[in-house]
Amino acid sequence: YTSPLRIHPPWPNFSCLHSSVLTGCVDYVSTQGLVLGVYESEREDDSLHLTESAAGVDRVLSGKLTELLKISGPGLKKGKSRIFYGLHEDFPCIAVVGLGRNSLGVCGTEYWDTCKENIRAAIAGGCRVLQNHVLTHIEVDGCNDSQSAAEGAVLGLFTYDDLKTKKKTRVTTQLHGSGCVSGWEKGVLYGEGQNLARYLMEAPANHVTPSVFADTITNRLAPYADHVTVHKRSQEWIEEQQMGAFLSVSKGSEEPPVFLELHYNGCPDNAQCPLLLVGKGITFDSGGISLKPPSGMDAMRADMGGAATVCSAIVTAAALNLPINIIGLAPLCENMPSGKANKPGDVVTAKNGKTIQVDNTDAEGRLILADALCYAHSFNPRAIVNAATLTGAMDVALGSAATGVFTNSDWLWEQLHKASVVTGDRVWRMPLFQHYTRQVTDCQLADLNNVGKYSRSGGACTAAAFLREFVTAPHWAHLDIAGVMTNKDEVPYLKKGMSGRPTRTLVEFAAGLANQA
């Protein structure tokens, strides 16, 4: 996925207007469109409250935009849009989108900034409407929050159609008017980061194998070679590290495993310990011998969503030149059934010497993460955050509303939660009670069992308790992103498909830590 970053000069040329205002769709030679915002009235009336950019356009058009909005019906509600044609020769299609009320901010019950979310959703909707008009370039109103507007535009226009003969119109976007250019640039990078994760998660498993995943991230980090070091560790290295849990999962597949290790040195002169990000990288999960049912198994091409979001967050941090040191770890492999695959009841040994009874080969993510978490401690990290599409139980618990966070650190929870309020990609704290630990340590053959004693009860919590057995760091968080892996229509600025969540929250979290350095 690529999206050219262009910043718009102060104002377009409005010197030449059409003499007539059209209300029907007309074919034009120009392929440019414009998205403008309008707020809902704070009072019970139909008065219009245009954004600064929309008001500027309206002045140039001698009030025709306001006139048309009034003629076309009552005030424009949040998320709705209206299209006007023929107002300007450079912008044959102008989409005006409803932003909701301007007075809204952080909502104490929704745990996000409602105004930012409204902007993202409205701009995404307006850009999609214009994309459907086969426009190839769209200028976007910054809506007094250029970053949110850019995120909405970039996220809303993403489509994975690489393998289709007929493709959607490719659209470039740029900031319209005199909005905050730096905010727009930042928003574009945030959106492109999440789109990179969506691309990796959406692509078929035969197109994104462990080695292809590693090569893709390596290529995306190539422009930042001065600050980034990439290690694509081979199976031989994994064996030398005695990562028996990881190897036990990978041995069932013909695809060789890769342990991807990324070092971003955004603050090389700072002796502060690095932030460690760890992502589950199962590029396809059949369930192994404990085979999954065929219905919906195709979605398991995205079981590397943890690795995709973590690696994409590091790509974005490098693009933003964040002043922080980050290390990313992604154990990459497939979980397949074969004569070499794990069998229920097998016992394997993790890097830290703990033995694990594998009673369910479909609980493989925690096995590969166990070894990665052990290795993460060797870098004396400031904090460890791992992300994984780990359990269906997480989807049952929270659905797609928020990422579940299990953490041993109140400080780390506060940092993640604060970041999620800004991005609108929410997190929710889940329990790490000893109640769950006892369920994974009560094991007949080994130190640990890879499924809880009561496998159907508290599955997300017992999985987190299992991971905690491989953590000694005082600041660690496990993000179970299974519930937010896909999007149907829950997040209006994301189309149906793989979501790439919570990439932006990870980036915002890292940026917040950078500011504390």
pLDDT tens per residue across span 94-145? 999 999 988 888 999 999 999 999 999 999 999 999 999 889 999 999 999 9
- Using 50, 70 and 90 to split pLDDT, how confident is the model at 454? confident
Query: Domains in the chain, ordered, with CATH?
Result: 32-179 (3.40.220.10), 203-516 (3.40.630.10)
Looking at residues 162-168, what average pLDDT do you find?
94
Q: Is the pTM of this model over 0.95?
A: no
pLDDT at position 461 is: 97
Specify whether 366 is catalytic.
Answer: yes
Which residue did the predictor score with more confidence, 99 or 7? 99
- b/e 232-254 (16+ beta carbons within 10 angstroms → b): bbebeebeebbbbbbbbbbebbe
Weakest mean pLDDT among 18-27, 177-186, 306-315, 497-506: 18-27
Looking at residues 499-510, what average pLDDT do you find?
98
pLDDT at position 490 is: 96
Mean pLDDT of the chain: 91
Specify whether 170 is catalytic.
Answer: no
- Distant-in-sequence, close-in-space partners of 191: CB < 8 Å, separation ≥ 6: 3, 150, 151, 152, 153, 154, 155, 504
Q: Please write down the HEC assignment for all residues of 345-396.
A: CEEEECCCCCEEEECCCCCCHHHHHHHHHHHHHHHCCCEEEEEECCCHHHHH
**CB 91 within 8 Å of CB 22:** no
Q: Taking the CA atoms of the chain, what radius of gyration do you get in angstroms?
A: 24
Question: What pLDDT digit, counting tens, does each position of 337-379 carry?
Answer: 999 999 999 999 999 999 999 999 999 999 999 999 999 999 9
Above 70 in pLDDT, residue 29?
no
Looking at residues 71-92, what average pLDDT do you find?
84
From the candidates 301, 366, 426, 468, give the one annotated as an active-site residue.
Answer: 366
From the candidates 64, 82, 168, 292, give the one annotated as an active-site residue.
Answer: 292
pLDDT at position 89 is: 73
- Distant-in-sequence, close-in-space partners of 408: CB < 8 Å, separation ≥ 6: 432, 468, 471, 474, 475, 476
pLDDT at position 30 is: 53
Looking at residues 410-415, what average pLDDT do you find?
98
Above 90 in pLDDT, residue 149?
yes
Reduced to 3 states (helix: H, G, I; strand: E, B; else coil), residue 464 is helix
d(CA 195, CA 2): 9
**Three-point CA angle 505, 509, 515, nearest 5°:** 145
- Using 50, 70 and 90 to split pLDDT, how confident is the model at 164? very high
Above 60 in pLDDT, residue 5?
no
Q: What percent of the chain has pLDDT over 70?
A: 93
